[in-house]
Every structure is written in structure tokens, then in C-alpha cells.
Chains A and B, each alone.
Chain A
């Protein structure tokens, strides 16, 4: 199968820190891939490089067969930033109608995505008056507008209750079944089991690239949190 994302020998320097020294990884098409790692491990930095908003010192990034950040990709890749990026002083509908126009999408898409993220009842509320989780869903809805082939989501389920989280994961899998590829970052290990494949990240490097079952087997751990800790220990002793 073709890869949705191919990263090879990526090097990113932010400020004076080498955040990613020499990172390579791939994300297969049509899968839900989880990007997991502790805070500060470089998840957001890697994601920013993939969607083409991060200055990159070296390396090659291919996204859907094009160099990352190329203009053709702007219609095909949806990106949800870690902190919701929507206008607090506009309503849900006003926000999405504006982003629809800017993305070159018919405004009929607005109602669809509002429905998708279960915000219909709040569509006329100003985003500034929404809860954190609701705001995050507006941000997600904006990324869904152009029906992208690849969705890159930076911690999309933070602050959501279990029910809503389950709904969103169901949505992700439903879209994936239609051929959409996902890269979803999280630092909550219990979300990892919902991913078809995992990239474990630590200190700017990929520690493991495996399915959840593989990982449990390899480390003999019961849960993924234990697997992650054991992997780190194994690496330290190697």
C-alpha cells in the first residue's frame, strides 16, 4: 500500500534546541496512526513539519506523494492544531462559514461538519462561550470542511468526556474506512489501543513503529503504558 506520509532524516531546530535530530517514519494510507509520546517529545513539531508550517533544517517529507507544504496539498490535508484555532468572538456557524469560503468549499458543508461533531444545538453560540471540549470540536469541524484525504490531528480529544471521545474515535474509523488517513497525536496511552498503528516518540526520536498487539507482545506488558515504559528501559540498557 502507498504511504500517506513519508519522513526521512528530518531535522528541526527550534530556537537553539535541536528538537528533531534525525527522524524517519511512515504512515500508511487508510490507517489511523497514533503518534504517542510524553510532553515535549516533539509530537507537535513533527506534525507541523508534516503539514508544512514548520521551518525544517534538513530531511525529506512526502505527503500524499507531494513534498510537504506544496500548494496542491492545501486542499487534501486537514490540520487541527493542539490549541483550538478558531475565532472566539464569532459563533460556531460564522467561524465555519468563513473557513469554508477560505478553503474553497461550498457553504453547504458547514451544516454537515457541525452535525458530524455534534454541535448543532450550539451552532449560534459564540465560540468564546463554549467549553474547552466544545471549542476543540469546532476546530476539528473546520478541518473536516474540505473532506481531506489526510487528517493530521494534534491531541484532538484532550478535555473530552469518555462518551464524546468514543464518538469521535468512531468517526475517525468511519472516515478511515472510506479511505481517509489519520495521524493523531496523544499523550494518553489508553487512546493508543484505538489506533491501527502506533508511532512511539521520545526526545525527538521514534522509539517504535508497531501495532498495539505487536508492542504488547514485544514488551510482555499488559497495557500500552507499561509497554512504553519497558521500551524505554530496554533502550537504555541496549
Chain B
């Protein structure tokens, strides 16, 4: 792996994004729009907004990054450019790290915009720390990117890649504790939700929003989310085979 190749890949992915205003809008504008909508959906019940918004601040970037990354990587596979790159002296890490870096940059901007919007114009009030919430959101966006890179290996078409959203992300949303506290679920569902990385992100967001104290549970949640990022990238590297059938 070399810094030059990683940075070149990062620059190339960002340049591709720049040529695609719709995807940029999906990444930067849509989460803001959704948060604004949510604020007015709960217009009469601001305390509900204060309760739900921190979780969504974390989930929207994850979802958007997941979809964008998995389609981008799938395109790389199906256009033959991946095959070309793998016949050059490049290391697989150059490609994955370049992608991760590019989408991290996008995630940073995205999370920054959403945070400024919710605490500013939308008037979100939380009892906890905004910077910790921002950190959780950023980690979660990175996790979305890393999982997107990995799972794109299991799709053959862009159509199939998009199907991961209902098949892979929605179950995590349903079981993640957004609709009902995980502790009150059937034991088997609770156990399932323990296996899903998004559950930890939701827990972390809720805890970060509730209190300034860095409890050990909050730290554990953040660590689990953070640890899943290199794990997914590593699994992604395994799916980049130089030889294919």
C-alpha cells in the first residue's frame, strides 16, 4: 500500500462524485431535508423530536452512505475497472482505503451539515454532548461505507445492490431499538438485535443524547461500532479477488 495510490483513489472517487450532482444531493441535502420534515411532523410535540432526532441523526448518514458506496463499488466491479486495477501493481488496500477516505470526507461534510441544522434552525435540545453525538454519527456513516464496500461483492447488478437496503438495513432499523426499546423485545429478537451493528449505534446515540457522562456502556457501544469498521473493510478486502471464475 502506498499513500500516493490511496490518495489518488480518494481523489478519483471524489472527482466522480463531483461529476454526479444527484448523488451529491442525495448525500448532503436529503438527510437535512428528512430532519426538517421530521421536525415539522412533530411540530406540536417537540420533546418527541428531541427524543427521536438524535437516533436519526445517526441513521440517515449510515443509510445514505451504505447505498452510495455499495453502488459505487459494484460499478467498479461490473465496469471491468476493478479487474484492470487488480492487474496493476496496486495493493487492494489502496483501493479500499481510497474509497473509505473519499466517503469519509463526504460523511464528515454530511454529518456536519445535519448537526448544524438540527441544533441551529431546528432547535434540537439534548441533555448530552453534541460532539459525542456527532462522533457517533460520523462513525456510523463510516460503518455504512465499510459495509457497503463489503456487501457490494454479493450483488451482481446495481438493482441487486439497492435491494440490500430493504434486506439488510431495514431489519436493523426495525430491531435496533428505534421503535421499541430493545430490552422489551422478545428474547430471541433482543438476541438478534445484539448481533446487529446498528443496534449499538442507536444505543450510543440515545445515551450520548441523554447525558454528558461517558458511561462504560456508552464507551462499549461506540467501540463496537468503531470496531465493525475495520472488520467490514477487512472482509471487503477478502472479496477483492485477483482471480475470478
- A 43-98 contacts with B by CB, 8 A: 51-56, 69, 71, 74-75, 77, 79, 81, 83-90, 94, 98
In the assembled complex, the Cα of A85 lies from the Cα of B81 at a distance in Å of 5
Chain A residues with CB under 8 A of B89 = 71, 74-75, 102-104
A-contact bits for B209-245, CB 8 A (1 contact / 0 none):
0000000000000000000000000000000001111
Check B245–A14 contact: CB distance below 8 A.
yes
Q: Which residues of A contact B86 (CB under 8 A)?
A: 53
Using Cβ atoms and an 8 Å threshold, which residues of chain B touch A103? Answer: 88-90
Q: How many whole Å from B96's CB to the nearest CB in chain A?
A: 13
A interface footprint on B1-35 (CB within 8 Å = 1, 0 otherwise): 00011001101100110011000000000000000
A92 to chain B, nearest CB (A): 13
Q: A128 — nearest CB in chain B belongs to which residue?
A: B19
**Which listed residue (A79, A94, A104, A146) contacts B12, Cβ 8 A?**
A94
Given the complex, which residues of A lie within 8 Å of B84, measured CB to CB?
Answer: 79, 81, 85, 99, 142
Q: Which residues of B contact A102 (CB under 8 A)?
A: 5, 8-9, 85, 88-90, 94
Tell me, rounded to whole Å, the shortest Cβ–Cβ distance linking B238 to chain A. 15
- Asked if A162 is at the interface of the complex by the 8 Å CB criterion, the answer is no
Known: A101-B4, A101-B8. A90 touches B16 (CB 8 A): yes
Asked if B44 lies at the interface with its beta carbon under 8 angstroms from chain A, I say no
A125 interface residue per 8 A CB criterion: no
Name the residue of chain B whose CB is nearest to the CB of A12: B245
Are A86 and B244 in contact, CB atoms less than 8 angstroms apart?
Answer: no
Q: A126 at the A/B interface (Cβ < 8 Å)?
A: yes
Contact B244 A87 (CB under 8 A): no
Smallest CB-CB separation from B90: which chain A residue?
A: A102
Instruction: Give the distance in Å from the alpha carbon of A86 to the alpha carbon of B85 in the complex.
Output: 10
How many angstroms between the C-alpha atoms of A55 and B4 in the bound complex?
30
| B244 adjacent to A54 (CB under 8 Å) | yes
Report the minimum CB–CB distance from B170 to chain A (whole Å).
29
A102-B94, A142-B84 are contacts. A15–B16 as well, Cβ < 8 Å? Answer: no
Report the bound CA distance from A146 to B88 in whole Å. 9
What distance in Å separates the Cβ of A71 from its nearest Cβ neighbour in chain B? Answer: 7
- B83 lies within 8 A of A15 (CB): no
Which residue of chain A has its CB nearest to the CB of B95? A102
> Are B80 and A81 neighbours in the complex by a CB distance under 8 Å?
yes
Q: Tell me whether B80 and A69 are in contact (CB under 8 A).
A: no
Residue of B nearest to A145 (CB): B88
- Interchain CA distance A126-B19 in the complex, whole Å: 9
B79 at the binding interface (Cβ < 8 Å): yes
Q: How far is A99 from B80 in the complex, measured between Cα atoms in Å?
A: 13
Question: Which 4 pairs between the two chains have the least Cβ-Cβ distance?
Answer: A85-B80, A101-B8, A89-B19, A103-B88
Using a CB–CB cutoff of 8 Å, the interface residues on chain B facing chain A are: 4-5, 8-9, 11-12, 15-16, 19-20, 79-81, 83-90, 94, 242-245
28 CB-based A-B contacts, threshold 8 Å: A51-B87, A52-B242, A52-B243, A53-B83, A53-B87, A53-B243, A54-B245, A55-B244, A56-B243, A74-B89, A79-B84, A79-B87, A81-B84, A85-B84, A86-B81, A87-B12, A88-B79, A90-B12, A90-B15, A90-B19, A94-B12, A98-B8, A101-B8, A102-B5, A102-B9, A102-B90, A103-B89, A142-B84
